[in-house]
Amino acid sequence: MDKICVTGGVALAGRVETSGAKNAALPAMVASLLTDETIELENVPPVRDILTTRRLLSEMGVQAEVREDGSATLNAAEAGGHEAPYELVKTMRASILVLGPLMARFGNARVSLPGGCAIGARPVNLHLMGLQKMGATCEIVHGYIQASSAGLRGAHILFDTVTVTGTENLMMAATMAKGETVLDNAACEPEVSDLAELLRRMGALIEGDGTRTIRIQGVPRLHSCRHRIIPDRIEAGTFAVAAAITHGDVLISNCAPEHMTALLLQLVSVGAEVDLRTGCVRVRGKDPIVSRDITTQPYPGFATDMQAQYMALMTQGDGTSVITETIFENRFMHALEMVRMGADIKIEGRRAIVRGGKPLSGANVLASDLRASASLILAGLVAHGDTVIDRVYHLDRGYHRIEDKLAALGAKIERIR
């Protein structure tokens, strides 16, 4: 298994390009199941979860091609298989996103029920509740969701918890349902709006994406289109924190600063200088780093996918900060690894109390999930000596060659194959 070795002590400098958003590209690829015509995508990040999605769709009979240049071509004319097998779903829970499109176009689906993961139980009850409201029957049989319907019909669906993939799944299901569907307390992440934009290009009638209420008028069929995936605000955010924590000066290009407001405002409040330009943002880290609290929230609040990276930054803060995680019940695994590097972090339920200003020392650490692995690289960038991160397969799920991008900014970092 690959490892990554980081030697701390370099202030990062230069320009780094952001890839397309993993969490926008996944539902976009799956949306190809909604039509028998061709979908052309651009700016698709060649990360492992994208390759898993391509494999999942291919097993369903979709002609799916993803190229190194970020372009992808998908055609589901021959999609005879309506099953997402356990072997694939267990490696990527976002496979649940095939449920909505399969139900909309074929009226049946068999999808392995995603189990829990390192960051939480992550049930899919709201996805099933919504489909049942649209007239489907959903049963759990031998670990699989078996869903069927003689034709989905529009419904008013109120989410008691904001769910990103739940909103995306039911938005796709509603595109070809009879009548109007209203999604209330919907997620308004930029990735949800990007999917709505793609579906509109395919002929869907969708309004209100980006707000808590989305309205979808069902249409008989959808057609081909071309769509460019939005930049990855979490990858760009990771580079922004890398600049702040190393007191560096980094220009992050090909990103969408307007999708990163909560994070960028937070970086300004901890003392970093942030200059916004169209399609890019310059971040200059300053000393001292001021300790400030955060509470993760659904968009437009502070993203849970930036919580671990921010915790690494707070280990270098000038005081005490409290990090409250409200989205996932078990998303502090990275804290214990940072403590092994000398950080002072106490976990109290969903709160982490970080006493900053403790110098970090390099150590062997273990990545438990995608964003935790990124946070350990950030901690390694300011630790004395070498930090060796194990299980970086987590990292490869959502970052494209992050070690090369950081090395181009001056970081002493390498992958140990």
Does residue 231 touch ligand EPZ according to CB under 6 A? Answer: no
Residue 117 appears among annotated catalytic residues: yes
Name the burial class of residue 80, with classes exposed (0-12), middle (13-18) and buried (19+) by CB atoms within 10 angstroms of its CB.
Answer: exposed
For the CA atoms of the chain, what is the radius of gyration?
21
Which residues on neighbouring strands pair with residue 390, listed in sequence order?
366
Q: What is the edge-to-edge ordering of all strands in the sheet holding 344-348?
A: 294-295, 320-324, 351-355, 344-348
Does residue 123 touch ligand EPZ according to CB under 6 A? Answer: yes
Q: Phi/psi at 40 (nearest 5 deg)?
A: -110, 125
Sequence letter at residue 354: V
CB 259 within 8 A of CB 230: yes
Q: Which stretch binds ligand EPZ (CB under 6 A): 61-69, 124-132, 197-205, 217-225?
A: 124-132
Between 41 and 363, CB nearer to ligand EPZ: 41
Compute the distance between CA of residue 394 and CA of residue 254 in angstroms, rounded to an integer: 24
Going from the C-alpha of 398 to that of each of 167, 173, 238, 239, 294, the distances in angstroms are: 21, 26, 12, 14, 24
Does residue 211 touch ligand EPZ according to CB under 6 A? Answer: no
Shortest distance in whole angstroms from residue 118 CB to ligand EPZ: 10
Q: Which of residues 282-341 bind ligand EPZ (CB under 6 A)?
A: 304-305, 327-328
Does residue 164 touch ligand EPZ according to CB under 6 A? Answer: yes
Among 186, 370, 383, 406, binds ligand EPZ (CB under 6 A): 370
Helix (H/G/I), strand (E/B), else coil: 83? strand
Query: Could you give the residue ranges of the DSSP H alpha helices within 296-383?
Result: 307-314, 333-340, 370-381
Between 289 and 374, CB nearer to ligand EPZ: 374
Compute the distance between CA of residue 245 and CA of residue 381 in angstroms, rounded to an integer: 8
Between 251 and 402, CB nearer to ligand EPZ: 402
# residues contacting ligand EPZ (CB under 6 A): 22
Does residue 375 touch ligand EPZ according to CB under 6 A? Answer: no
Among 105, 110, 127, 227, binds ligand EPZ (CB under 6 A): 127
Name the catalytic one among 117, 138, 225, 280. Answer: 117
Does residue 126 touch ligand EPZ according to CB under 6 A? Answer: yes
Extract the runs of DSSP E, i.e. beta strands, from 259-319: 273-277, 280-284, 294-295
Between 11 and 145, CB nearer to ligand EPZ: 145
Shortest distance in whole angstroms from residue 233 CB to ligand EPZ: 11
Does residue 239 touch ligand EPZ according to CB under 6 A? Answer: no
Compute the distance between CA of residue 295 and CA of residue 323 in angstroms, rounded to an integer: 6
Shortest distance in whole angstroms from residue 364 CB to ligand EPZ: 23
Q: Which residues bind ligand EPZ (CB under 6 A)?
A: 23, 26, 94, 120, 122-127, 161, 163-166, 304-305, 327-328, 370-371, 398
Give the residue numbers marked as catalytic.
Answer: 117
